[in-house]
Amino acid sequence: MLRTIFRAALQPYSGGNPWGSAMLAAAVFGALAGIVLALSFWLFTNHEAVRTLRRRLWAQVLALRLFGEEPWLVFGILLRTFAINALLIAHALPPLLIAAPAVALLAVHLNEFFTRTPLETGRDAVLTVRLRASDWNAPAELQTPAFVEVDAPPVRIPAAREISWRLRATAPRMGLCRISAAGETVSKELDARPWPRYCGRVRSTAWADSLLHPAEGRLPDGPVERVWISPVPAPLTWAGLTMDWKEWSAAAASVTAWLLSIPLARVRPPRLLHFLFHRL
């Protein structure tokens, strides 16, 4: 379900002007992450304790200015400043941990959208299949959609239990290839449409791979353990500046969270939620 939602949400930013679409998508979804962070800090931070700690921190800063010529006093002030900052960081951990799953979910799906693959019209790409140890020597067959050609025989690497095919896309389309090995057949998405696009680069039987590459479902347990196309880094460029999409999104999230925190600071969080979080 989440895969369908992200595919539909990212579709308006696919193709077109690659740099404009990519930067806009990074800014929009970065702002969404900023909203999640701002709401998490508003709801799950002990604001009274944080205000008290900030006043104590300012007191230490003023003390440092007043007693800057007394080494032993300065040493004590610095120790107290360090302790207050540690407490402030401790108060920031609960909202960060609560917001982390939502932000991580956004990040892994956006990574599928922003990472390029060499499977583009007129370019060569390599599709690699890793087989189970007991089936690595079994015959394997690859069937590709009409817009993808296999222009070289498969290459086997016994030590890694891998088979690789060199592919070439002849049209900017999307389809499924099928890999047959040891009597079982699995499918893999092939997408040669203009970048950026939401497509699966990796499909695997491992849960870790399926969490990091959620654009396609997990492979069923069988002779094929993993199918992937190697990614190509795709930095964002604007006004002569080059920035990774993660940096662009992080900047949008930071600005959005800061702007949203200004009006939220004047509104009390729900009493029941605040009581449950800080009293129980």
Q: What's the rounded Cα separation, in Å, for the pair 97 and 50?
A: 17
What is the per-residue pLDDT across 135-169, written as a single tens digit (0 to 9) for each? 777 788 889 898 988 888 888 888 888 889 898 88
Given a cut of 50, whether residue 80 has pLDDT beyond it is yes
Please report the DSSP string for 202-217 in residue order: EEESSHHHHHH-TTSP
At residue 34 the predicted structure's pLDDT band, cuts being 50, 70 and 90, is very high
Question: Quick one: 225 exposed, middle or buried, by C-beta within 10 A (0-12, 13-18, 19+)?
Answer: buried
At residue 280 the predicted structure's pLDDT band, cuts being 50, 70 and 90, is very low
pLDDT at 240: 58
Kind of pairing between the strands at 124-131 and 184-191: unpaired
HSE at residue 61, side-chain half, CA atoms within 13 A, is 8
pLDDT at 253: 92
Contact assessment for residue 230 and residue 118, using Cβ atoms and an 8 Å cutoff: yes
3-state secondary structure 225-268: EEEEECCECCCEEECCEEECHHHHHHHHHHHHHHHHHHHHCCCC
pLDDT at 236: 57
Residues 166-184: b if buried by 16+ CB within 10 A, e if exposed? ebbbeeeeebebebbbbee
CA 209 to chain centre: 13
For the ranges 86-90, 112-116, 233-237, the lowest mean pLDDT is seen at: 233-237
